[in-house]
Structure formats: C-alpha cells, structure tokens
Amino acid sequence: METEGTERLQQTLSSLASRRAALGSLAGGGGIALLTAAGRGARPAAAQDAATPAIALDANKDLVRRFYEAVNRRDDTALEALLTPGFVDRLGVLGDPTKPGPQAMAKAVADLHGAFPDARATVEEVIAEGDRVAARIAWRGTAPAPYEARQFDFWGVAGGRLTELVRLFDSAGLDKQLAAAATPAATPIP
C-alpha cells in the first residue's frame, strides 16, 4: 500500500516535470513559469534543468521534515532559519500570501495551535525532484475532538532554504470529523 502511494506520487512529480519542460519550450526556452493559484512566480530554467545530485535531494527532503518538526515544537527561530525572507504560502492556507516571510508563517503556526492546541504533523512521505519537494502529511490531535487530517504539500527550495509552499488540504474531511464530534448523541426513545 505504502509502495503504491510512493509510486503514484513519483509518477505525478515526473509528469509535472514533463509539463514544466513543455511550458518552457512554448515560452521560447527562456525560462519556465511556475503557475500557481495566484498566477505568480517564475523560476529560472537553470533550477529545473540541472541534474540534482542525490545528496542535494536528501538535503531538500530534510528541510521539509525539519519544517514540520519546528511547527510541532512551535519554534519560531527554527522557522526563520528554514524559510527565505521572501517565503510565501501561495494559496494562503497556512500563511497569508500577501505577507511573505518567516514572520507571517510563525503567526500562522501560532494561529493553528490556538485553534488546535495539540495538533501534531507527521511526515508520512517525502519525495524530491530538482528544487521541488512533495510531502504527504497527517495532522492528528484531540482538541476540540479527536481528528486526523491529510494534506499534500509542494515546496520550492533554493540556497538550502524553503522558498514557497502550495498545499492541498482535506478541509472537508476535517470539517466532517469535527461536526460529527459536535453533534450530540441521539437519546433513545423508551
């Protein structure tokens, strides 16, 4: 089961790399645009085209793991060291895309723990290709009721730091769990 998920994620990353290369060709080969929800951002072609040694890929995956460790510890100093000054959460799920940087992410982490005091992220899988890292994350906690939420995160990396985040989060699944916990149990009619 775990192998199937890993294979699917690797196939998805390979497919995305092929699409980026095709977009670069259409744009005259001068660079490949990263299309995001806000339609912003561009990454230099050199970042995509150069072969990335395995040690660099492992370092990129480790950055993502360390990010979630810092979130779990609520460690703003570690977040600042891991994120570039211009870091942006492209979809604004955790951070505010209009306020880039580690400070905005630290506030978002504080807000997350304010709403879910015992929330803990578990990195279940991490795959890297070039300057991109994909991670499958599970959030678990017990407050306000026991829950488990899933997400997929796609990170940009440059210079040994995280530059951007695009997140796919199962908010409907979390809402369903919390609503079920908030609904009082039916009292049997005698």
What's residue 25's pLDDT?
28
In 3-state terms, what secondary structure has residue 112? Answer: helix
Amino acid (1-letter code) at residue 128: A
Looking at the chain, which runs of residues are DSSP E strands? 32-33, 42-43, 83-89, 120-129, 132-141, 147-158, 161-169
What's residue 32's pLDDT?
28
In 3-state terms, what secondary structure has residue 147? Answer: strand
Q: Are 104 and 112 in contact (CB under 8 A)?
A: no
Residue 175 — very low, low, confident or very high, per pLDDT cuts 50/70/90? confident
What's residue 8's pLDDT?
54
Query: In this predicted model, what pLDDT tens digit does every residue of 67-94 receive, in sequence order?
Result: 999 999 999 999 999 999 999 888 765 5
Mean pLDDT of the 88-113 span: 80
pTM: 0.69
Residue 51 — very low, low, confident or very high, per pLDDT cuts 50/70/90? low
Q: What percent of the chain has pLDDT over 90?
A: 42
Mean pLDDT of the 167-171 span: 86
Mean pLDDT of the 61-65 span: 97
Domain map (residue ranges) of the chain = 49-180
CATH number of 49-180: 3.10.450.50
C-alpha 140/C-alpha 104 separation (Å) is 23
| Least confident window among 4-8, 58-62, 119-123, 161-165 | 4-8
Chain mean position to CA 131: 14
DSSP assignments along 59-73, one per residue: HHHHHHHHHHHHHHH
